[in-house]
Structure 1
Amino acid sequence: MDEGEKMKEAITEVKEDPQELKEGKEVVQEEKDGKEVVQGEKDGKEGDLSWVNTFEDLLEVVGTNGRWNILMFIMCVTSVAISPLQTLSYQFLGATPDYWCHIAPLVEANWTDQQILSLAIPYSNSTGKYEGCQMRNYNYTAAALLGYEATMKDPSLVQHGNTTTIIKCSARDFNHSQYSSTVVTEWDLVCDRRVLYSTTQGVVEGGNIVTCLVFGYLMDTFGRRPIVLVCVVIKILTGFLAAASPTLEVYILLKFLVAATDAGTYLSIFVFVMEMCAIKYRAAVGCLVAIPWAIGYMITPGIAYLVRPWRWLQFAYALPSLYCIIYFWLLPDSPRWLITEGRFEEALKIMTKIANVNRKPLPSDPVVLAAMENIVKQGTHEKGEELTDREATIMSRFLAVIKQVVILLTIRQLRLRTLVVFFCWFAASMVYYGIALNATNLSTDPYLYIFLGGLLEVPSYLILWPALVYIGRKKSLVALYLICAVCIFAVMAIILVYPGGEHLAKVFFSQSGKVAVTAAFQLVWMYTAELFPTKYRSLAVGEASFCARVGSTSSPYINDILGGYTVWAPAALFGTVSLISAVLSLILPETRHCTLPESNDLFSKKKDKEADRGGSKETSLEDVRQGVVNLSYNPETGQPGAERL
C-alpha cells in the first residue's frame, strides 16, 4: 500500500468512526454564530474539526492574529514600499536640465554658454526661457572668427540675407551644472525625440497592464509563491541591468520588465495577505497595505536628491529589491490555494507551522486532512458548474474568455453602469499620475513636490472613512472629483495669469487636487466591488483596473508632449476629465447600507414574499438603484465591510 492510499484510508476511518475524533485531552473553544463549539475534551482526546466548512474556519483553528500572522504581514507589506521607487522614478532618472542648440563652431571657439545663448538662441517671453529646439540662422563660422564682442555689435555681419530666420537644430547642449547625467542628456530625449522620454514612463504603466492581463491567471494556475519568486528574480536582474543599458531601446525593454515583475510581485503578495487574513481584519489590512506605498513615495525623491547620475540612481532604486530574496526562505504558498488544488499534505505542513508559531494546539493530521477535504467538497458543491471548464477544448475556452470579457457591456442594466465605472477608473488613474509627475510643467522643485505628494497620501486615506460613513459612496465620489477639478482649474488659471510665477500657490492647489483624486481612486476600488453582482465582481474590477492603466499610461505623454506645446494644457485636460467624472458619478446608485449583490443573475426573476404567495417579481433597475440592507456595513463601528481588492 503506497503513502497516498494510507492517507486516504486514514481520512476514511476518521469519517466513518467519529468517536475516534474525541481522543484528545485539550479543550479548544471557538465562537461560531454566537455559540461555543467544543472541539475536544481535557482527558487526552483529539479535537473535532467536523464543523469546519470553509478555510476561514480552519484559519481560526491555527490563529488569525498571532505572531505568525503579524510577522508575515510585516514581511509582505514591507515590499510594497519598494514599488514607488520604480514607478515614480522617471522624473529623476530623466530629469531635464536647460538645453539649447549645439553650435559646433562657437563651442570649438571656446565661447561660453551664455555667449552662445545671447547670439544664437531666441528667447521666449511666454515661458521665460531660451528656446531649446530652435536657433537663429547665422553664419557661425564667421561669428567664431569675428569673436563675440564684434559679432554682437553688428549681428548683420553674420546674417544670411537681410533678415534673420529661425531654424530647427539636430543636436543640443545641456546645462550639466543642473544635472550631471540623466537619461535625457545621454540619449538627447528632447524636441522631436521627447516622445521617447515619455515612453520610458509609458512602458512602466504598460508593464502594469500586462500584470492585469496575465498574472492573475498565472497565480491561479501555479500558485502565489512560485509567481512571487519568479518575479523577484526577474525584477532584481532587470533592475540592475537597466543601470548598465547600452542603448535607449534596451533601457526601455528592461524598464518594462522591471515594472511588470514588480507589479506581479505586489499583486501576488497582496492576494496572499488577503487570503491569510480573517474576514474581520480584511478592511483594516486592505487600508494598511497602502501606507508603505506612501512611505516609498516619500523615499523616492530623497534617494534621487542624494544620488544624481542616472545610472547610479537606477542602481540605488534597484538595491532595495534584494530584500525580496527572503521570500525564498520565509514565504509559504497560500494554504487556501493549495487546499482548493487538492494538495492537502503541503497545506498541512504550512498550517502546522502556523499553529506552532502562534502556539495554537492542532488536532492530529488525519483530522486536519479530513477538514481540508470537507472544505474542498463544500467549494465543489458551490462551483460544480465550473468543473466542466477543464474538459472544454482550447477553441471553446478561448471563445468563452472573449465572451466573458465583453459580457458586462451585453447586459442592458449593467451597460451604462459599466461604462461610467470604467471612465471613473480611467480618469482617477490618469489624473493621479498626471498630477504626481507634473512638477516640470509647474516649474517647481521636483524633489519637494513629489515628497509632499507622498506625505499627503496618508491623509487621503484617512479622510475617506468618515466621508463614507456620513456622506455615502456616491456623494463622496462626486465631491472628491469636483474638489479635484476645482483645484486643477485653479492651477491652470495661475499659470495663465502668472506665467513663471506663484510657485507656492500652484503647488498648494496641485497637491490639494491630488489629495482629492487619491481618495477618489481608493474609493472607486471599493465602490466597484459593491456595484456589481458576485458573478461579475472580479471581472468588473479587473477590466476597470485595465482602464486605469490605460489612463496612467497616457499621463506622461500628456505632461511631456502636450505640456511642451502649451504649459497650461495638461491642467486643463485633467480638470475637465475630473469634472466629467463628477457628473457621470451622479448616474451611479448609492450602495451605503446596501448588501453586496450575490446572485449570479442579478436581474433575473427572483422569489420573494409575493412569489411565495403565488406571484413573481422581476428585479428592475430602479430596485437596484434603491438597494437593500447592506450586511457588509456595521453601523456600530461605522466601517464599510468591503475592502480594497
Structure 2
Amino acid sequence: MFTAMHSLSWTFTAPDIKHRCRLPDEPVNSSYWMNPIVSKDIPLKEECKDFINLNDCSYETCHYRSSNSCSNGYIYDTSHVTYSAIHRWDIVCDKTIWRAFIQSAYYIGQMVGSIVFGKYGDKYGRKKMYFMALCLQIFAGSSSAFANNLIIFGLLRFLLGVSHPGLFMIAIIMMMELIGPSKRRLPATISGTSFSIGEILLGVFAYFFRDYRHLQLIIGVPPLIFLSYYWLVGESIRWLVTKKRYNEADKLLKRGVKINKSQIPEDWWLTLDTDTDDGTTIIDNKTKDYGYLDLFKTPKLCKRSLISFFCWPVVSMIFYGVSMKPDFLGGDPYMTFIIGGFMEIPALLLVFFTVNKIGRKPLLAGGYLVSAGCMIISQLLSHYQTHWIINLILYAIVKASITCVYTTIYTFTPELFPTVIRNSAMGLCSTFSRTGAILASYVSFWLVTQYGNIFMVIPFAILSSIAGLLVLLCLPETVGTPLLETIEELENGEKRTKLLTTEE
C-alpha cells in the first residue's frame, strides 16, 4: 500500500495551481490569489509575465507586460492546496518541467532498483533484498517531509524509486515460489489489491491534508511496523533448493508442515529429479549464477524476453500516465483519482476469478485493446460537448482495463521464465517498464499541460494496440503449467509436451 502511495504522491505534492506574478511591495504571504482589480487588469494567460513600472520608462516605449519571468515572486491560489512543493520551490512558468524531472527521478530509481534487486535477489536471496528495500523506503519517505532543497527532494524521490521493485516485485516472486500452479493468481491479485487500496488512501489523505509535508509524514513513517516481518517471514524455499541449501529449506518446510498438519519424507532432497535426457545435471546448473545476457542466449528465451521488454513499458506508461493526470478527461482530481483506485478492485476480482479459466493471454490482450479503444473514443468525443459522467466512465474503463493488464502480467511473466533466471528476468522487465513511466511523467506533467491531451491519448492508444497483438499472437499460454526450473526445460522440455503449442 505504501509503495503505491509513494509512487503517485507527487500528483498531490506538486499539483496544478493557479498563480500570478507578485506585485511590487505586495506581501509574500498574501492570502488571496487574485483580487478584483488585479483580475481585471491581468489576463490569466499572462500569469508568467512580470509587471513593468511606468516610472522606469516612457509610455511609448513601455509595454504593458515584459517577457521576463516574475522577478518579485509569485502569488498562489491556496483555496484548494494550503502548501505544496509548487509553493515552496516555485515550480511554475519556466520551471514547470521540473515537475516532470522530479517524478521521473522516482522511475529512474525504479530502473536502478530493478537491476540491483533483480540480480542480487537471485544471488543473495529474496528476504535480504526485501528488507534492505524496506529500510530504504522508510528513510527516504520520512525524510522527504524535511527536505529544504528541490535537488535533495528529487534525490529522496530517486531512493524511494530504488526501493519500489525490491518491495513489490520480490514480494510477488516469493509468494509465487511458495504456492502451486492453481494458486499462482493469488500473489499478483493480492499485491494489486494492496496497490489499489494504497491509491485510494492516498487520494483520501491528500484530500484532508493539503500541506505536502504532512502528507509525506503520513505515508512515510507507518512502514516502520513492517520491519517486524523479518522475524516472521522465511526465505523462499524454492530459491534455497536451487542453491543446494537443503538444511535451511528443510527447516522452513517442517515449520509449514507443522502448521498445515501434513507430512514430508525425510531427506526429501535426495528424491529430486536431477538429470536431464542428455545426462547433464540440473542441480549443478541451478547453482550457477545467471546474468542478464543469458536471457538472450536461446531462441525461445530471447523471444519471450524481447516481447516482455516491450509490453512492460507500455502498461507502465498508460497506468502511471492516467494515474498521474486523473483529470485529463475532466472532473475533480481528488474524486477522479479515488474513483480510479476503486475501479481497480473490480478489475482485480475479474482477473482473480477468470485468469485460471480463460487464461492469461485473453486478459492481457483484451486489457491492452480495450484501453486503447476507450482512449480513441475519448479523443473523438473531445470535439463535442459531452457530459462529465461520460468522461468519468471512459477514465474508469481505461483504469480498470490497464489494471487487468498490470495484474495479469505480474502472474504471466514469471511463468514464462525458469527459476534460475526468473528474478533477473522480472528485474529487467521492471527496468524497461520504468522507461514507460518516465515518459509518462513528461507526458502528464509537461506535454499535456503545454500542448493538450492529444499528445497523451494517441501515442498511448497506438502502443497499447501493438502490445495487445504481440501477446495474442506471439506468446504461449501458461495457465495450469508447472513453473520451469532451468533454461534447458524451456528449450527442450516443451518439445515433450503440447501444453505450450504457440511456441512450437
Instruction: Identify the TM-score tier after normalising by the shorter chain.
Output: 0.7 to 0.9
SS in 2 for 1:173: strand
> Equivalent residue for 1:282?
184
Percent of aligned positions that are identical: 23
- Among 256, 259, 268, the residue aligned to 1:371: 268
> Equivalent residue for 2:294?
404
Question: Which structure 2 residues correspond to residues 30-429 of structure 1 after superposition, within 5 A?
Answer: 81-105=1-25, 113-115=34-36, 117-118=38-39, 121-123=42-44, 130-135=45-50, 138-139=52-53, 159=59, 161=61, 164=64, 167-170=67-70, 171-359=73-261, 368=266, 370-372=267-269, 375=272, 381-385=281-285, 389=288, 401=291, 403-404=293-294, 406-407=296-297, 411=299, 419-429=306-316
Q: Deviations over 1:163-199 (max 9, x none)?
A: 6455242432211232111111101112221222222
> What root-mean-square deviation, in Å, do the aligned CA atoms of Structure 1 and Structure 2 show?
4.0
SS in 1 for 2:61: coil
How far did residue 456 of structure 1 move? 0.9
> Equivalent residue for 1:634?
none
State which drifts further: 193-202 or 275-284: 275-284
* 316 and 528 in structure 1: CA distance in 2 versus 1, 3 angstrom threshold: closer
* 286 and 425 in structure 1: CA distance in 2 versus 1, 3 angstrom threshold: closer
> Equivalent residue for 1:559?
444
How far did residue 317 of structure 1 move? 0.6
Q: Distance in 1 between matches of 2:189 and 2:480?
A: 21
Q: Deviations over 1:79-123 (max 9, x none)?
A: xx2221211211112223211122324569x99722464355324
CA contact (8 A) 1:441 1:567 kept: no
Q: Distance in 1 between matches of 2:101 and 2:296?
A: 29
SS in 2 for 1:113: coil
Q: Distance in 2 between matches of 1:475 and 1:216?
A: 28
Q: Distance in 2 between matches of 1:359 and 1:624?
A: 36
Q: Which amino acid aligns with 2:339?
A: L
CA contact (8 A) 2:340 2:395 kept: no
State which drifts further: 591-600 or 324-333: 591-600
Q: Distance in 2 between matches of 1:384 and 1:522?
A: 34
2:500 is the alignment partner of 1:600? no
Q: Which amino acid aligns with 1:489?
A: I
Q: Which amino acid aligns with 2:104?
A: G
SS in 1 for 2:103: helix
2:461 is the alignment partner of 1:461? no
Q: Which amino acid aligns with 2:294?
A: Q
CA contact (8 A) 2:181 2:483 kept: no
CA contact (8 A) 1:473 1:527 kept: yes
* 455 and 140 in structure 1: CA distance in 2 versus 1, 3 angstrom threshold: farther
> Equivalent residue for 2:401?
516
SS in 2 for 1:289: helix
How far did residue 549 of structure 1 move? 1.8
- Among 588, 611, 614, the residue aligned to 2:474: 588
CA contact (8 A) 2:2 2:223 kept: yes
* 345 and 298 in structure 1: CA distance in 2 versus 1, 3 angstrom threshold: same
Q: Distance in 1 between matches of 2:401 and 2:494?
A: 40
* 116 and 580 in structure 1: CA distance in 2 versus 1, 3 angstrom threshold: farther
> Equivalent residue for 2:376?
489
How far did residue 558 of structure 1 move? 0.4
- Among 334, 344, 348, the residue aligned to 1:447: 334
How far did residue 244 of structure 1 move? 0.7
Q: Distance in 2 between matches of 1:197 and 1:605?
A: 49
CA contact (8 A) 1:301 1:451 kept: yes
Q: Deviations over 1:401-420 (max 9, x none)?
A: 46435447xx4x77676544
How far did residue 564 of structure 1 move? 1.6
CA contact (8 A) 2:103 2:438 kept: yes
SS in 2 for 1:253: helix
Q: Distance in 2 between matches of 1:268 and 1:416?
A: 24
> Equivalent residue for 1:576?
462
Q: Which amino acid aligns with 1:600?
A: E
The structure that has the greater radius of gyration is: 1
With a CA cutoff of 8 Å and minimum separation of 6, indicate the structure with the bigger relative contact order: 2
State which drifts further: 265-274 or 239-248: 265-274
Q: Distance in 1 between matches of 2:426 and 2:121?
A: 17
Q: Deviations over 1:14-51 (max 9, x none)?
A: xxxxxxxxxxxxxxxxxxxxxxxxxxxxxxxxxxxxxx
Q: Distance in 1 between matches of 2:417 and 2:245?
A: 32
* 606 and 551 in structure 1: CA distance in 2 versus 1, 3 angstrom threshold: closer
SS in 2 for 1:506: helix
Q: Distance in 2 between matches of 1:267 and 1:112?
A: 44
Q: Which amino acid aligns with 1:218?
A: Y
Which ranges of structure 1 fall in alignment gaps of 5 or more residues?
Answer: 1-80, 124-129, 143-156, 391-399, 610-618, 629-645
* 596 and 538 in structure 1: CA distance in 2 versus 1, 3 angstrom threshold: farther
* 324 and 116 in structure 1: CA distance in 2 versus 1, 3 angstrom threshold: farther
How far did residue 229 of structure 1 move? 2.8
CA contact (8 A) 1:291 1:458 kept: yes
Q: Which amino acid aligns with 2:447?
A: L
Q: Distance in 1 between matches of 2:33 and 2:293?
A: 65
Q: Distance in 2 between matches of 1:471 and 1:361?
A: 34
Q: Distance in 1 between matches of 2:224 and 2:143?
A: 14
SS in 2 for 1:543: helix
> Equivalent residue for 1:438?
325
CA contact (8 A) 2:242 2:420 kept: no
How far did residue 600 of structure 1 move? 2.9
SS in 1 for 2:398: helix
Q: Which amino acid aligns with 2:7?
A: T
How far did residue 480 of structure 1 move? 2.8
Aligned pair count? 494
Q: Distance in 2 between matches of 1:544 and 1:230?
A: 21
* 374 and 550 in structure 1: CA distance in 2 versus 1, 3 angstrom threshold: same
* 519 and 346 in structure 1: CA distance in 2 versus 1, 3 angstrom threshold: closer
* 174 and 580 in structure 1: CA distance in 2 versus 1, 3 angstrom threshold: same
SS in 1 for 2:20: strand
CA contact (8 A) 2:33 2:75 kept: no
Q: Deviations over 1:108-162 (max 9, x none)?
A: 9x99722464355324xxxxxx443235x643668xxxxxxxxxxxxxx995538
Q: Deviations over 1:207-231 (max 9, x none)?
A: 2222221112222333233223332
Q: Which amino acid aligns with 1:456?
A: M
Q: Which amino acid aligns with 2:376?
A: F
Q: Which amino acid aligns with 1:516?
A: S
Q: Distance in 1 between matches of 2:3 and 2:494?
A: 46
Which ranges of structure 2 fall in alignment gaps of 5 or more residues?
Answer: none
SS in 1 for 2:78: coil
